[in-house]
Structure 1
Amino acid sequence: MAFTTQRKVRFQHCDPAGIVFYPRYFEMINSVVEDWFEEVVQRDFNQLHVESGTGVPTAAIDTQFHAPSRLGERLTFELAVQTVGRSSLTLQIIAYCGDQKRLTSSSTLVYVDLNSGKPVPWTEAMRQHFTVENL
């Protein structure tokens, strides 16, 4: 089952016309991924980055913007795991406002040791939460 969460479009996300400025969507996507790690994978970013000395930088992201989002709207984000590698993970993220699709994104994260910057295998404790599905 896809992870679902909501974000309210705030003034900080918008250009002077009151429409989400596209780079702000990437901040929203990152916050959705961060929430997914905490709520589903059961590893918050403090545990990953600070306590464990590991991280999950974005190695690739491909995003299509389908319709504008406006100040005050509530966006529903759905996140699903597309593929799992030894040290990588590709996520599909779709944002809706009501029934209207606003964006579709495919994001590949790599699990790395922050000291060396090199990929490391996912731990079994994390891997067990990676269920591949399609949105």
Structure 2
Amino acid sequence: MFTHTIKVEIQFGDCDPAGIVYYPNYFRFFDNATAAMLSAAFAMHKRNWLDHYGIAGIPMVDTGARFIKPSSFGDVVEISSEITELGRSSFGVKHSLLRDGDLAIEAHEKRVWVVRDDNGGIRSAALPDEVRKLLGAQ
């Protein structure tokens, strides 16, 4: 399945008073990594693929992480993101965050492909065949 890697430099504002990344910020990094992965797979920026596919977004319905090593201000980490599963309207993502080449965090997400309904809300929609192909479906 499709994989993509980004680098993130840890900023002062990402850290708590102990000088390490405040854990919710990792989930912000992972959200950005998922968007970057899909942008690479679809060969267009997120603002364009949202419009191109006519979707409202890809909200997260499940997430979790295993924290192994902390990161600090100034560290440059690498986040490798991989599509792990494709459902009818959902997909799984695994993130591996490396610091100095060592695994620091393993995280997972489950996201849903959603469109707007007639009442202005959102509802799940089937992943288009093109998207399935781009993300590595056989």
**Do the structures match in fold with TM over 0.5?**
yes
> In 2, are the aligned partners of 1:48 and 1:54 still within 8 Å (CA)?
no
Aligned to 1:66: 68
Give me the whole-angstrom Cα distance separating, in 1, the residues matched to 2:46 and 2:60: 14
In the superposition, relative to structure 1, how do residues 131 and 50 fare at CA in structure 2: closer, same or farther (>3 Å)? closer
Q: Does 1:85 align with 2:90?
A: no
Aligned to 1:101: 103
> In 1, are the aligned partners of 2:96 and 2:105 still within 8 Å (CA)?
yes
Which amino acid counterpart does residue 111 of structure 2 have in structure 1?
L
> In 2, are the aligned partners of 1:77 and 1:95 still within 8 Å (CA)?
yes
Pick which of 95-104 and 51-60 moved more: 51-60
Q: How much identity, in percent, do the aligned residues show?
A: 20
Give me the whole-angstrom Cα distance separating, in 2, the residues matched to 1:50 and 1:131: 22
Question: Structure 1 stretches (4+) deviating beyond 2 angstroms?
Answer: 41-45, 47-54
Aligned to 1:118: 123
Aligned to 1:129: 134
Q: 2:59 aligns with which of 57, 60, 66?
A: 57
Aligned to 1:3: 4
SS in 1 for 2:110: strand
CA RMSD after TM alignment: 1.7
- Tell me by how many angstroms 1:43 deviates: 4.7
Aligned to 1:16: 17
Pick which of 33-42 and 14-23 moved more: 33-42
Consecutive unaligned residues in structure 1, runs of 5 or more: none
Q: How many residues are treated as equivalent by the alignment?
A: 132
TM-score (norm 1): 0.89
In the superposition, relative to structure 1, how do residues 43 and 112 fare at CA in structure 2: closer, same or farther (>3 Å)? farther
Give me the whole-angstrom Cα distance separating, in 1, the residues matched to 2:11 and 2:78: 14
SS in 2 for 1:75: strand
TM-score (norm 2): 0.87
Q: Cα deviations across residues 35-89 of structure 1 (Å, max 9, x unaligned)? A: 1111123353213445624210001001111111011001000111111011100
Pick which of 11-20 and 37-46 moved more: 37-46
Which amino acid counterpart does residue 130 of structure 2 have in structure 1?
A
Give me the whole-angstrom Cα distance separating, in 2, the residues matched to 1:48 and 1:55: 10
Which amino acid counterpart does residue 72 of structure 2 have in structure 1?
R
